[in-house]
């Protein structure tokens, strides 16, 4: 480790020019390579540092089935792979597409950011029928190592019912959603997922909720999931 | 090498001549380029904070890590119409990863007409109230410091007039009819996104940040979106970044067979903000 100056003049001593000069020489002649080897190996925990240890953002351009131009046939073209993800209604907490990040945590905590385009409900026949009642509630959250974090959950839990002026679910059609969550985890490897939970049923074309399709979906378009450790 | 003036035999040791030499050394050490310090030569005090905030704020963003409406910390500003039917609509076209906009010479701030892609960067009258953060270093490269940018933008939706007609009381307006009036229930959207301006002056909106929000006519509330901008994003331009901004637009959306209600999808907003946190990473 550097000591600069190498010899510090002290009161009451006769200063020797050689000593003084030597104190400076290590810096005068310094050259080397600054890299990981330059840092004390036990210092990382002392820093106000953030490390992204995930490989990147769970975002795939091939899945940009955004609402941006979705008024036309793009919105119905499942075969084109334009949906970010489909979550079947009634299937419990389900990972959205490939929105998962696994990171090795040294100290923690971890900042988790999920930002995505909630689409809408879609019947299982692939059609794009807009006139279907949607007595469905939709929630999103962050799942840590297989368990959904309740504190991260956003959305609504009331599916509404026939006779109301409109469906009570907050997110009938397009809705941008952000989740920021600070997660305090133990050191080690952890997996974070963006998950969706949809319950309820879509009515039929006449608005009769007693005749639902059982395999209807919630559609999620562009999404981004980031996990960074703060240490 | 630093310019070091060695002590000669017989030189008087004074505070001044010692300090001057120490100053030379200090200046030189502080200016050391990477890969110039010996192994194990640094400790925690030498390492810059990797959130790139503490002690560095003025280096990247002289005015701080937030920007937005005057209502931030001050009196609430007046709502203003930012756009109407602004976003071009191309049925069936797959969006691009990075949209360019305002390449036609139009101004992109505040309210305005439809041009340059239809996006507007919210801005009240004061120039300082733009929903935009400008790097202190023009043509900044994120990989110079191994940075990523955690960005969040949000706007207060004050009014989303038109595009919403509950004039047909004969139907349950859960979109149970395909009439044009009901179509508008689902149609009107406020749209928000995040973009950056390259060092060459070209604006790009990140498609992954674009969020459409069905506002159901007169709803008030918040639209928000977030992203993580990396150096790889900048390659769509000239590899550098000069500004980060939030954008809004308005347009209708509804699944087929609903047709364009041909109404004015006006978006009024009041407060707005963009926040950024530069983070050093791997």
Mean pLDDT of chain A: 64
Give the one of A52, A69, A131 whose C-beta lies nearest to B91's C-beta: A69
The Cα-based distances of B271 to B105, B120, B196, B277 in angstroms read 27, 14, 21, 20
Percent of chain B at pLDDT > 70 equals 61
Residue A2 and residue A25: Cα distance in Å, rounded? 11
Q: Which residues in chain B are contacts of A138 at CB distance < 8 A?
A: none
* Domain A53-229 coded CATH 2.60.120: yes
3-state SS assignment for residue B45: helix
Q: Out of A43, A52, A117, name the one closest to residue B282 (CB).
A: A52
pTM over 0.90: no
Interface probe, candidates A173, A182, A219, chain B, greatest B C-beta count within 10 A: A173
3-state secondary structure of B14: coil
Mutate to test the interface with A, among B163, B174, B265 (most CBs of A within 10 A): B174
From the list A200, A148, A194, the residue with the least C-alpha distance to A169 is: A200
Does A50 score more than 50 pLDDT? Answer: no
Domain ranges, ordered by start, for chain A: 1-43, 53-229
Kindly list the residues from chain B whose CB atom is less than 8 angstroms away from the CB atom of residue A206.
176
More confident call, B274 vs A48:
B274
Question: What's the confidence (pLDDT) of residue B246?
Answer: 95
Q: Which of B100, B93, B115, B118 has the alpha carbon at shortest distance from B191?
A: B118
Which residue would you say has higher pLDDT here, B198 or B280? B198
| Model confidence band, residue A33 (pLDDT cutoffs 50, 70, 90) | very low
> A161-200 pLDDT, tens per residue?
544 434 445 565 678 899 999 999 998 888 888 999 988 7
A103-123 per-position pLDDT tens digit: 888 777 888 888 888 876 655
pLDDT at B203 over 80: yes
Are the C-beta atoms of residues A169 and A137 closer than 8 Å to each other?
yes
Which residues, at least 6 apart from B144, have a Cβ–Cβ distance to it below 8 Å?
Answer: none
ipTM: 0.74
Count contacts between A and B (CB, < 8 Å): 257
List the structure tokens of B272: 């707005």
Contacts of B226 in chain A (CB under 8 A): 113, 115, 178, 180, 224
Q: What single string gives the DSSP state of each residue in A160-183?
A: --TTSSS---S-SS-EEEEEEEEE
Say whether pLDDT at B172 is over 60. Answer: no
Among B13, B177, B253, beta carbon nearest to A67: B253
Indicate whether A152 pLDDT > 70: yes
């Amino acid at each position: 480790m550097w000591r600069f100056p190498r010899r510090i003049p002290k009161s009451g001593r006769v200063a020797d020019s050689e000593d003084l000069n030597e104190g400076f020489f290590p810096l005068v002649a310094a050259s080397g390579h600054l890299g990981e080897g330059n840092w004390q190996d036990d210092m990382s925990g002392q820093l106000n540092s953030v490390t992204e240890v995930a490989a990147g953002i769970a975002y795939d351009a091939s899945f940009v089935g955004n609402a941006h131009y979705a008024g036309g046939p793009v919105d119905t073209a499942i075969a084109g792979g334009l949906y970010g993800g489909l979550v079947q209604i009634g299937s419990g907490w389900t990972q959205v597409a490939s929105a998962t990040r696994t990171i090795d945590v040294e100290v923690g905590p971890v900042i988790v950011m999920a930002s995505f385009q909630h689409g809408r409900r879609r019947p299982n026949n692939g059609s794009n029928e807009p006139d279907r009642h949607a007595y469905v509630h939709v929630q999103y959250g962050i799942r840590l190592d297989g368990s959904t974090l309740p504190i991260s959950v956003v959305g609504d839990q009331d599916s509404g019912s026939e006779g109301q002026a409109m469906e009570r679910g907050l997110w009938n059609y397009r809705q941008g959603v952000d989740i920021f969550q600070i997660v305090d985890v133990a050191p080690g490897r952890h997996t974070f997922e963006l998950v969706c939970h949809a319950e309820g049923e879509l009515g039929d074309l006449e608005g009769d909720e007693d005749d639902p399709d059982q395999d209807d979906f919630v559609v999620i378009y562009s999404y981004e999931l980031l996990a960074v450790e703060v240490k | 090498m630093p310019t070091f003036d060695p002590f000669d035999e017989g030189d008087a040791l004074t505070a001044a001549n010692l300090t001057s030499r120490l100053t030379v050394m200090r200046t030189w050490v502080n200016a050391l380029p990477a890969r110039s310090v010996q192994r194990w030569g640094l400790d925690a005090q030498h390492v810059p904070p990797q959130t790139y905030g503490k002690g560095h704020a003025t280096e990247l963003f002289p005015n701080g890590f937030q920007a937005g409406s005057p209502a931030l910390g001050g009196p609430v500003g007046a709502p203003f119409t930012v756009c109407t039917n602004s976003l071009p609509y191309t049925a069936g076209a797959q969006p691009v990863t990075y949209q360019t906009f305002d390449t036609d010479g139009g101004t992109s701030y505040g309210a305005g007409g439809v041009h340059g892609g239809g996006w507007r960067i919210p801005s009240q009258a004061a120039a300082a109230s733009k929903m935009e953060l400008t790097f202190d270093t023009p043509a900044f490269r994120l990989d110079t410091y191994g940075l990523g940018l955690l960005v969040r933008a949000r706007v207060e939706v004050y009014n989303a007039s038109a595009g919403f007609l509950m004039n047909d009381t004969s139907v349950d307006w859960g979109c149970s009819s395909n009439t044009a009036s009901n179509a508008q229930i689902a149609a009107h959207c406020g749209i928000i996104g995040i973009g950056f301006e390259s060092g060459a002056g070209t604006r790009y909106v990140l498609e992954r940040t674009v969020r459409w929000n069905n506002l159901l006519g007169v709803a008030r509330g918040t639209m928000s979106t977030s992203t993580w901008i990396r150096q790889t994003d900048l390659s769509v331009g000239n590899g550098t970044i000069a500004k980060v901004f939030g954008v809004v637009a308005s347009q209708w959306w509804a699944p087929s067979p609903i047709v364009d209600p041909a109404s004015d999808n006006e978006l009024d907003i009041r407060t707005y903000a963009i926040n950024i946190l530069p983070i050093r990473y791997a």
